[in-house]
Structure 1
Amino acid sequence: MVEFTRRRLMATSTAAAIGVGAIGSVSGQEDEDGDTPGAPRINGDIKRLATTAHGAEVTGPFVFENGEVLFSLQHPSRDNPAPYDTAAVGVLAGHQFTFNGTNDEFDELEAPRSNEAQGQVQVAGGEYDILVQEGDSINGGDERWGHPQTPDGTDIADFVGTRYGDVGYNPDMNFFVPTDEDGLEGYLFTNNETSPGCISRTPISRGEDGWEADPDDAMELENLESFRDIGGTRINCYGDLSPWGTPMSSEEEYGHPRVSGPATVSGIVDAGSGVGIRGAATFWNRPNPSEIDGALDELFDEGWSPQGTWALSGLEMLAYYLGADPVDQDGDTNTTEPIGDGYPNRYRYGYIVEVTEPTAEEPTPVKHHVMGRAAFECPEFMPDERTVYLASDGSSKGLYKFVAEEPITSYDDRADVRGTLSAARVVNEEAAKNRPPAEVDLEIEWVELGTASNAEVESWIAEYDDVSQVDYLETHADTDWEDDLEAAITEADETVAIEGNRDYITDEEILAWAKQYEKRGPDGVDEELRRVPFLETRAAAKEVGATIEFRKAEGIDSLDDAEPGDYLYIGISELNDGMSDDEGEIRMDRVDGGVVYRAQLDSEYDVSTLEPVVVGPDATDSESIVDAAPINVDNVMVLDDGRVLLCEDKGSFGRSYPNDALWVYEPPAVLETDSVAISHGATGAVDLTLSSIPDGLAGGRITVSVEHADVAELTGASYHDALELTAGPSISGDGSSVEFRFADHEDEIGATLEDVTLATLELEAVGTGTTDVTIDVHALDDDDGTAIETQSRPGVVVVGPQPVGEGSGPGRAPTDPDGDGRFEDINGNGRLDDDDVTLLFDTLESDSVRLNEDAFDFNENGRIDYDDVVSLYDEL
């Protein structure tokens, strides 16, 4: 694994150069202070492009078609000099990506050392040009940027009570929807993390002097009646721009957990009480819900802080936004006077919100309820317009995937969008062996939770629209709250903590769903229980074995036009908590600096392996190490040339400077061989390919080996036609390896990010079983004479068994018609038919089947059983 490239070692910054040396010496070995091996580590190249003002995260990155970059100045320190003491969105003026695939196109920004530099945004080769700031007058003076209003036009900032952050202080997502062919004029859509939620639409355009905003024609979309009709939004974080050009805003509903941390609903039932286990959502409709922590401390000897209670702040403001009558606005804080009509339905928040018709006079919002409910930081909509990956922020929140039955744009009405929601499960044992994250890929499978449509989920949600704070008291307390409000609240708090909140989906309903799921599968549950995985996504996923340990998954992105073979990147801001404890499927060594994973997309846009490519530092590392590595990567954005923007939200991590940074990650070249399934006694071929060579290819020397030559051996090899100056190829006497040596003296293989075939290898199946095909790079140089840093990916050869029983003729071994590594054609006649099912049934107890588990384990449960016969029949 490459830690830092040669270019990185030539950095002019003294501190950066020291940091690189330290990283190289620490990675991969146990340090005396107990540092995690391989932390930090960069598999590729990294450069600092910008640093934000003190106190601010780097959020909401967006890159225009002309290569200019924009991001939000989120919650900067109020002590910074103006204008950097106010939240804003701005463009990195003076810097433009040329999309050539290499970080050589810009000089790295020095770390900010002076107070002046730390108090502002700094950009490599440019400056931060602010377009719009919190509280700016917009829409002809009728609104303020980032400020929601009540139906009568009152600014939410004018009310007293708990708040989810200062209004307008937390801009995040930015996506630009052009209205001209050149992509230089259009609308900028910006999220604000607040309650009620906020999506601003600002007209911007680029002239000779750069980008400019038009505040007079800007608007707060949440103030439209169409947004209030869907309950508004809440805590809008990052998002995505769909393949069809609509902004997708994520509701980061931190208050959604009904059970805290890794706990389960079944654990509550087993314990006979929810005390110490329940999460914030249980107390959603409590009068003054954010004060529940103190109330629980008084009620129980061992009080606890239900996960997400801090995010219940601002619920009263959301109610006022929806039109509820404000309660007691004479003091400074919330009271416990209950809100009745107009109180927000907890099941209306925590979704992906699509802004349809984004350039219309009044855009229309659609909540994709069928994609599940969580603290979503961001989704990634794939080019097939069906597959959506969803990352959720916070502790033990999980990773999710939605696949629509048809392309989303093919539905005449978004309410009809129908598909299947799944959660990730980590299945490889290595992930639970306290290994360094840099050394362990996460192998995942997807656990289906349920199938529904937006309209169906909306109908289930609507059943809870009339639940209010009054119901919390009248459902859970015998005391009449109008006679003794304080006593009624105390009684209700105790009942809800122990027994649960019966105004919403109950514990019993979740367990009934899970029990039916286990017996009948996700599509076999009773109709009234189908709502459970869509309204209580996280709790449901836990009950059926999904891996919820994923911690702070705050970034997810791929190429806009990604194809099978490209990568999906996932940023885990902190790899600790549930990912580094002694429970569950993930029990890795702690890396507080976080990890960026990537996963290769298959032909169906599915992913099955998360490999670590950027590993952050440990909290114990020296400043020199920490200064030179990305920390707590939040949002990620893949550029058109395959490089990735990494945005930091590092908090107080121990650097020599306090600012968050924007980094540009250049992935390494990938050298790999295909995988192939070969019938016993037959031959097959695999290609040796190289991708991501922005500086071209001069030549090299490479050895490809078969790990088990008694399973398959190399019998032939040939070069790509473009390579005319070659030696060999030289195959070893036992057929276990072949060496290639070549030079591209005619410059036939130029700079490219696409796959280039270097050679083809022929293999003969001489045994049965599986063997890896590994790659050893002795030398590989680009057209500038610089060594190409590569990541080698082994291929796999699966050799099928000898003939089973009598087969369908003499010597006919089973074959693999669909190339999935399972040999469905049992009788060797070249196709899957009824005779194959019968033959497998007749020979299931024979050694020829039992000793070839990899070939005949059709239900993929790790053994040969009669369900393999059923699974093979199902494939007919």
Structure 2
Amino acid sequence: MASKQLQRVLAAALSFTAAPLVLAGTIEFSPAPFPLTDTEKRGILTSDSATVDGVQVPVGYHTILRSGDTAEGTFGLLHDIDGNPLVAEDGSPYISNDNDFASILEGEDGKLYMVAHFEARPGAMYLTELSQDPRTGVLSAVRTRPLDFSAVDGGWVHCAGSVTPWGTHLGSEEYEPDAKQWRDDDISDYNAAMATYFGATPAQASSVMNPYDYGYPVEVKVKNYNDATVAKHYAMGRMALELAYVMPDDKTAYMSDDGTNVGLFRFVADTAGDLSSGSLWVARWSQKTSEGAGAADLQWVYLGRATNDEVREWKDLYKFADVFDEADPIMQNDEDTGTCPEGFTSINAGHGDGDHQCLKLRDIDGDGGVWLSDWNIASRLETRRWAAMQGGTTEFRKMEGITYNPDANVLYLAMSETDRGMLDNNRAGKTLPYVKYDIGGLNHMTIAKGNKCGVVYGLALDGTYTATHMWPVVSGTPITEDYGADADSPDYDGTNKCDINGIANPDNITYMPGYNTLIIGEDTGSGHQNDMIWAYNIPSGSLTRIQTTPYGSETTSPYFYPNINGFAYLMSVIQHPYGESDEDKLEQPSEAFAYTGHMVFPAMDQ
């Protein structure tokens, strides 16, 4: 039970939200079965039914396409910059099973389309024309083709996404390559895989790739099947972008940064409906309590204004060594003291792991001093590092999905774990101090006890859609000692380290407007053996399991559409079955094909 201090903090946070609207809609799902048998763990289990506004309707999962399916084109086939299919080592076409976010859009021709991500290097997005059954609402693929990214130097690890208020697809590029690797001529295999897009080998990556080409929001506007434009919004900053989510003012966008020791960013466009120029901020966590998952006021550190055209020029002109000078931390008895030589700023930031760095901004333009233009260049090419140097908080761990509740003017943010930099020189479930995540940094976040089962936070917004407070809404429950429980649980069955009646490692989330229901998808390994999607009733705090997925997969892309031609849709993508765990249980290659699909309901635009 929360202490009185925590209760006061949460009450204060809630008091700053707008007065809730009158909610006319109700939805209640029947629980999806929990998979117990091997057969059930290989399948997709869903709620049998949902009661929507008092009417019971059947619920099922409808697959639009699986990776490798053909509908004129081959869904998930990766291509090089010239449009040639990539081939695997055995000479077979390289088809990705890393399906991720998939949007439903209406083209300018009035037809329905889906833009679907593949979280690979090189990445891919596919445009699929859809047909809609007028009786059942079920969507089917008519034809599919890859989108051409050659004008923007290819796509990179397209993870989650959103749909803008003006009806375009807003995708992402996660885990941006570390430009320091290019300076040191030590490019990781992960980053070097992108070289195949340019017809080169990974060993040639340093000569064919520019790391500053990747890590940005990607907007896709669909006119018709043969005319869809792709734009990277360099002005919004570069990070391990899980997704960007645009608020109802058509200007403010929140961006989640996935990884270890990362930040939360807010972009405000100069012009409504146009993300090509604007100003960028990073959140600063001012902790109010360390209990539970912590709670804080949020301040915002200004990182400057830029345009796509400016950053497009900068990324081709400058390298890491042009932006920053770097020094080694000061050591004492072979241990890092957490300090830097005079003139260098000490930070701890990155998306891979804790990394104490000593940096100094260079005179980038060579004009005899460090000017505001130099700041802007650093803020867009090295967004997280510059944010840390300016005093922003870069201590979050595995920041994932974002969604907005217009009924209460609350933003929701999923944190797959509360661990590492979010704690105070410690690790969840560990007994020894782990200073690497806080050493050299500002250590804004000092949550008392981590939670490797994860948390969904609420963020109160003011009248300008600026987040002012952050507090935990729903958390997973560890049941094993190594996951941070107080003692071994008799409920531990050897496979599920988080309580099976609650969430484990929340990832993508979506809100059902007017229905007080938050949908939470999981990306968990040993937290739950089979990943799940949950419906969370906000007033009651109750969770209902509505879908489970096969061994080794993760749930991606839950995204809700209240009314498309008289039907509501909950998108659901099942990524890389047997690919994250339980690989030894794969019996047929076809079992590993990913699923892109949906659930369908009567229109729910209350």
1:531 is matched with 377
SS at match of 1:111: coil
Partner residue of 1:318 out of 179, 189, 197: 197
1:640 is matched with 513
SS at match of 2:395: coil
TM score, norm. by length of structure 2: 0.67
The one-letter amino acid of 1:135's match is G
1:374 equivalent to 2:239? Answer: yes
C-alpha separation in 1, matches of 2:152 and 2:475: 40
Tell me, yes or no, if the aligned pair for 1:101 and 1:643 is still in contact at 8 Å. Answer: no
2:466 is matched with 606
2:74 is matched with 144
Equivalences for residues 125-144 of structure 1 within 5 A = 125=48, 126-138=59-71, 140=72, 143-144=73-74
The one-letter amino acid of 2:128's match is T
Tell me, yes or no, if the aligned pair for 2:105 and 2:113 is still in contact at 8 Å. Answer: yes
C-alpha separation in 2, matches of 1:464 and 1:545: 24
1:631 is matched with 504
1:200 is matched with 126
C-alpha separation in 2, matches of 1:529 and 1:397: 19
1:211 equivalent to 2:138? Answer: yes
- How far did 1:358 drift? 4.8
2:18 is matched with none
2:566 is matched with none
Taking a change above 3 Å as real, the CA distance of residues 152 and 399 of structure 1, as seen in their structure-2 partners, is: closer
Taking a change above 3 Å as real, the CA distance of residues 427 and 188 of structure 1, as seen in their structure-2 partners, is: same
1:577 is matched with 420
Tell me, yes or no, if the aligned pair for 2:170 and 2:218 is still in contact at 8 Å. Answer: yes
1:187 is matched with 113
C-alpha separation in 2, matches of 1:130 and 1:385: 32
C-alpha separation in 1, matches of 2:310 and 2:193: 29
SS at match of 1:378: strand
Partner residue of 1:427 out of 240, 265, 286: 286
Tell me, yes or no, if the aligned pair for 2:74 and 2:144 is still in contact at 8 Å. Answer: no
1:121 is matched with 44
Equivalences for residues 643-658 of structure 1 within 5 A = 643-653=517-527, 655=528, 658=529
Equivalences for residues 649-798 of structure 1 within 5 A = 649-653=523-527, 655=528, 658-668=529-539
Taking a change above 3 Å as real, the CA distance of residues 619 and 101 of structure 1, as seen in their structure-2 partners, is: farther
Taking a change above 3 Å as real, the CA distance of residues 591 and 102 of structure 1, as seen in their structure-2 partners, is: farther
Tell me, yes or no, if the aligned pair for 1:200 and 1:220 is still in contact at 8 Å. Answer: yes
1:866 is matched with none
Partner residue of 1:175 out of 103, 111, 125: 103
For the aligned residue pairs, the C-alpha RMSD in angstroms reads 3.4
SS at match of 2:261: coil
1:78 is matched with none
C-alpha separation in 2, matches of 1:151 and 1:315: 11
- How far did 1:458 drift? 1.2
The one-letter amino acid of 1:244's match is W
Equivalences for residues 760-839 of structure 1 within 5 A = none
Tell me, yes or no, if the aligned pair for 2:116 and 2:125 is still in contact at 8 Å. Answer: yes
Deviation digits for residues 563-611 of structure 1, max 9, x if unmatched? Answer: 7x51110000100011113340111111111111111221111111012
The one-letter amino acid of 1:648's match is E
1:391 is matched with 256
The one-letter amino acid of 1:595's match is V
Deviation digits for residues 436-493 of structure 1, max 9, x if unmatched? Answer: 22xx32211000011111111111112259x9xxxxxxxxxxxxxxxxxxxxxxxxxx
Tell me, yes or no, if the aligned pair for 2:107 and 2:223 is still in contact at 8 Å. Answer: no
Equivalences for residues 180-329 of structure 1 within 5 A = 186-207=112-133, 208=135, 211-215=138-142, 217-221=143-147, 224=148, 227-256=149-178, 281-284=179-182, 289-290=187-188, 311-320=190-199, 326-327=200-201
Tell me, yes or no, if the aligned pair for 1:202 and 1:213 is still in contact at 8 Å. Answer: no
Tell me, yes or no, if the aligned pair for 1:103 and 1:666 is still in contact at 8 Å. Answer: no
C-alpha separation in 2, matches of 1:252 and 1:239: 11
C-alpha separation in 2, matches of 1:239 and 1:247: 8
C-alpha separation in 2, matches of 1:357 and 1:134: 22
- How far did 1:233 drift? 1.1
Tell me, yes or no, if the aligned pair for 1:509 and 1:529 is still in contact at 8 Å. Answer: no
Tell me, yes or no, if the aligned pair for 1:135 and 1:147 is still in contact at 8 Å. Answer: yes
C-alpha separation in 1, matches of 2:452 and 2:402: 19
Higher strand share: 2
- How far did 1:151 drift? 4.3
SS at match of 1:147: coil
Partner residue of 1:458 out of 294, 297, 312: 312
C-alpha separation in 1, matches of 2:62 and 2:262: 36
Tell me, yes or no, if the aligned pair for 2:415 and 2:505 is still in contact at 8 Å. Answer: yes
1:723 is matched with none
SS at match of 2:311: helix
The one-letter amino acid of 2:525's match is G
C-alpha separation in 2, matches of 1:159 and 1:231: 24
Partner residue of 1:352 out of 217, 231, 242: 217
Segments of structure 2 that go 5 or more residues without pairing to the other structure are 11-22, 49-58, 321-356, 426-437, 493-497, 542-604
Equivalences for residues 22-41 of structure 1 within 5 A = 27-28=1-2
Taking a change above 3 Å as real, the CA distance of residues 541 and 455 of structure 1, as seen in their structure-2 partners, is: same
Number of positions where the alignment pairs a residue of Structure 1 with one of Structure 2:
445
TM score, norm. by length of structure 1: 0.47
The one-letter amino acid of 1:250's match is S
C-alpha separation in 2, matches of 1:527 and 1:436: 42
SS at match of 1:118: helix
C-alpha separation in 2, matches of 1:572 and 1:167: 30
Tell me, yes or no, if the aligned pair for 1:177 and 1:358 is still in contact at 8 Å. Answer: no
- How far did 1:390 drift? 0.4
The one-letter amino acid of 1:449's match is L
C-alpha separation in 2, matches of 1:455 and 1:507: 30
C-alpha separation in 1, matches of 2:418 and 2:188: 28
1:617 equivalent to 2:471? Answer: no
The one-letter amino acid of 1:319's match is F
C-alpha separation in 2, matches of 1:124 and 1:180: 35
Higher-Rg structure is 1
C-alpha separation in 2, matches of 1:171 and 1:420: 32
The one-letter amino acid of 2:103's match is F
1:859 is matched with none
Taking a change above 3 Å as real, the CA distance of residues 152 and 556 of structure 1, as seen in their structure-2 partners, is: closer
Deviation digits for residues 259-296 of structure 1, max 9, x if unmatched? Answer: xxxxxxxxxxxxxxxxxxxxxx31147778225xxxxx
Partner residue of 2:302 out of 427, 448, 460: 448
C-alpha separation in 2, matches of 1:615 and 1:358: 41
C-alpha separation in 2, matches of 1:285 and 1:156: 28
Higher helix share: 1
C-alpha separation in 2, matches of 1:180 and 1:421: 31
Structure 1 vs Structure 2: percent identity of aligned residues? Answer: 28
Taking a change above 3 Å as real, the CA distance of residues 358 and 662 of structure 1, as seen in their structure-2 partners, is: farther
C-alpha separation in 1, matches of 2:385 and 2:161: 23
Segments of structure 1 that go 5 or more residues without pairing to the other structure are 1-26, 30-36, 42-98, 257-280, 292-310, 321-325, 328-333, 468-505, 514-519, 671-752, 755-876
- How far did 1:408 drift? 3.1
C-alpha separation in 1, matches of 2:108 and 2:83: 33
The one-letter amino acid of 1:456's match is E
